[in-house]
Amino acid sequence: MNESLELAREALKAANEAKFLANNTWMLVATVLVFIMHLGFAALEAGFVQRKNVVNILFKNVMIVSVGLLSYYFIGFNLMYPGIEGGFLAFSGFGLTNPPDAAGLIEYADGSYTYYTDFIFQGMFAATCCTIVSGAVAERIKLLPFLIFCLLFVTIAYPITGYWKWGAGWLDAKGFYDFAGSTLVHSVGGWGALAGAILLGPRSGKYTEDGIRPIPGHSMPLATVGVFLLWFGWFGFNGGSVLSADPDLVSLVFVTTAVAAAAGCLGSFVVSKLIFETYDLSMALNGILGGLVGITASADGVSPLSAMLIGCIAGCIIPLSVSFFDRLKIDDPVGATSVHLVCGIWGTIAVALFGNYGEDTGGLGIQLLGIVAIGAFTFTFAFIIFFLIKILVGIRVEEIEERKGLDLGEHQALAYT
């Protein structure tokens, strides 16, 4: 009897270790998929700006990833996930806490992944909020002021509102639901983008007396590469947000994510054909992204058919929203505000309309409360920072620099020779 009991114990231990291996491996694969989204954003934004501003946008994206990872290591992670204790603004100290055991690592979240896995997965997300901003303020913002904004935005604003929900803060307690961040990541980036675009003003020559002058991106292949890489990475963004390799949930998330993106493409295709009377590649691309942002809040809790509807509506929103911001003369070279802010809000509302989360979660009122609270905080934060930078050091490049391009102005370099 002893022998069987010991063997059974050993077997159970080995089985749990195997689960731990599989879960942790999936989370790390999801991490690399989220990582490559930064290349997706860089390529998308570079493709959508003019030839003369390509080095600048690439440089910003490279810096954002690096600054974002390090600042999240030192401050953001502990501000967003303070653990039980809390502390001032829920901040639990600088830098990663040395986990207690000898190997410097602990099992975490009931055995599904390690502390370091938790950090690196979350850390890959963090910089995304700034990458979203960089597209909207492209082609006219000064480099250093933008990097200062990013540092503050990713270090302070993003983790605070993230804590409200994912760190088990007050919005979480109220039943607000946002699976992988339609609001917590995308709208947050979108509000920052909106604040920046408003304070900067439009690119010169965009809104003239003769109407809106389209300023087409310099490379559609680059933009397309970017969107496919973002879609690719989104399987990690949403799939990893299950926080385990749970087959039911992760596979559902894959399906909802994929069909929402596809439906977003078709929605945007049809509406932009009706409005602009052309087959517009950039609208189809942004339709995909809109669908992805839209499904992000509920990818783990809607049926595939609901996901299609959510994605399709998000796609239909895109051309309308782009026109809307253009009519307001808010100039956003890559459509980041439409994709991330507007579709992020839509996705968060969709949780209440389509989500199967039980009674206590994701009611319409609570979802709206979350949208408004996070929006108000983030927009105000971003606006104040941009405004302070504007009056202290200026945020917009000189007219002549804008005309000859930021690549020459800020980098003394050209993207192509």
* Angstrom distance (rounded) from CA 296 to CA 289: 11
Interface pick for a second copy out of 261, 313, 317, 349 (rule CB under 8 A): 261
Taking the complex as a whole, the smallest distance from the CB of residue 58 to a second copy amounts, in Å, to 5
- State how far the alpha carbon of 293 is from the alpha carbons of 72, 290, 397, in Å: 23, 5, 31
Residue window 57-96: x/- pattern of binding to a second copy, with contact defined by CB under 8 A:
-xx-xxx-xxx-xx--x---------------------xx
Q: 């579709």: which residue's tokens?
A: 343
Cα–Cα nearest to 131, from 224, 28, 230, 219: 230
Q: Which is nearer to a second copy, 318 or 341 (CB)?
A: 318
Per rule CB under 8 A, count of chain residues that contact a second copy = 119
Interface pick for a second copy out of 114, 122, 128, 183 (rule CB under 8 A): 114
Q: Which is nearer to a second copy, 169 or 333 (CB)?
A: 333
Interface pick for a second copy out of 93, 97, 109, 116 (rule CB under 8 A): 116
Interface pick for a second copy out of 78, 219, 286, 296 (rule CB under 8 A): 219
Interface pick for a second copy out of 84, 221, 399, 400 (rule CB under 8 A): 221
Terminal Cα distance for the chain, rounded: 78
Contacts to a second copy from residues 33-52, by CB under 8 A: 33, 35-36, 38-39, 42-43, 46, 50-51
Interface pick for a second copy out of 77, 81, 163, 235 (rule CB under 8 A): 235
Interface pick for a second copy out of 153, 164, 207, 269 (rule CB under 8 A): 269
Structure tokens at 393: 């050091």
Cα–Cα nearest to 193, from 281, 290, 128: 128
- Residue 266 as a binder of a second copy (CB under 8 A): the answer is yes
Taking the complex as a whole, the smallest distance from the CB of residue 406 to a second copy amounts, in Å, to 10
Taking the complex as a whole, the smallest distance from the CB of residue 373 to a second copy amounts, in Å, to 31
Cα–Cα nearest to 161, from 339, 348, 401: 348
Helix axis angle for 158-165 and 188-200, nearest 10°, is 150
Residue window 6-35: x/- pattern of binding to a second copy, with contact defined by CB under 8 A:
-xxxxxx-xxxxxxxxxxxxx-xx-xxx-x
* Angstrom distance (rounded) from CA 72 to CA 78: 8
Interface pick for a second copy out of 139, 178, 280, 402 (rule CB under 8 A): 280
Taking the complex as a whole, the smallest distance from the CB of residue 132 to a second copy amounts, in Å, to 17
Q: How many CB atoms lie within 10 A of CB 308?
A: 21
- Residue 218 as a binder of a second copy (CB under 8 A): the answer is yes
* Alpha helix stretches (DSSP H) within 1-48: 2-48
DSSP for 228-262? HHHHHHHHHHHHHTTSS--HHHHHHHHHHHHHHHH
- Residue 216 as a binder of a second copy (CB under 8 A): the answer is yes
Taking the complex as a whole, the smallest distance from the CB of residue 306 to a second copy amounts, in Å, to 12
Taking the complex as a whole, the smallest distance from the CB of residue 107 to a second copy amounts, in Å, to 8
Beta-carbon contacts of residue 286 (< 8 Å; ≥ 6 apart): 268, 318, 322, 335, 338, 339
For residue 284, give the DSSP letter: H
